[in-house]
A = this chain, B = another copy of it.
């Protein structure tokens, strides 16, 4: 893993639109950008581990990341995803705890590491920023609770359908406008929906037969969006 001390992007010039840092003043951005570093993580590499003590928080300059927790038997449960412009590990900083989950790059990612102190400084002086963080936490909490209901009450088929739609929402489609732009292993898909790898495979295969999706190697092509939404049985 290459550690670049050279081409660290400045927060002042960062063009990521959906970042929480958008609302910051120039001075505050300068404080934040005074950071420890900026790292590349190859697909599959771990950005931080559950249980470790946080040195700072991460902002995804470009890339896709999964945040997951391990159950007792070593089974993984994906808790949420983060993409370009989003923050990682901020919650542990806020509550001064060790990382609550593990973050893993889902594709080659460029991640900035922001100093804990700088972050807290800005948070304490800038109320707009606090409000942004509050909104972010609120959204995360809402999603987490919805995820809970899904896993506790929906059938496997509904959960798989919902997971595919989630991946589409979060990371979008390829230029053909129908292929999920993020391809995961079957096991990873199962880890989101909370089901075993084999059952995931069988369910995807069924959906393939039913014409909802098409499986081309690791790529998943959504053939019948309406049908998939109907299968997911979404309430929201």
Contact = CB atoms under 8 A, between A and B. Distances in A.
A95 B138 contact: yes
A116 B127 CA distance: 18
Given A71-B152, A134-B130, A145 B95 contact: no
A175 interface: no
A133 B123 CA distance: 13
A142 B73 contact: no
A154 interface: yes
A55 interface: no
The 9 closest A-B pairs by CB, nearest first: A71-B153, A152-B194, A137-B137, A130-B130, A144-B144, A95-B138, A141-B141, A151-B152, A94-B138
Given A79-B145, A79-B148, A95-B139, 5 more contacts: A71-B154, A72-B235, A77-B149, A91-B142, A148-B148
Interface of A: 69, 71-73, 75, 77, 79, 91, 94-95, 97, 100-101, 123-125, 127, 130-131, 133-135, 137-142, 144-149, 151-154, 194, 233, 235
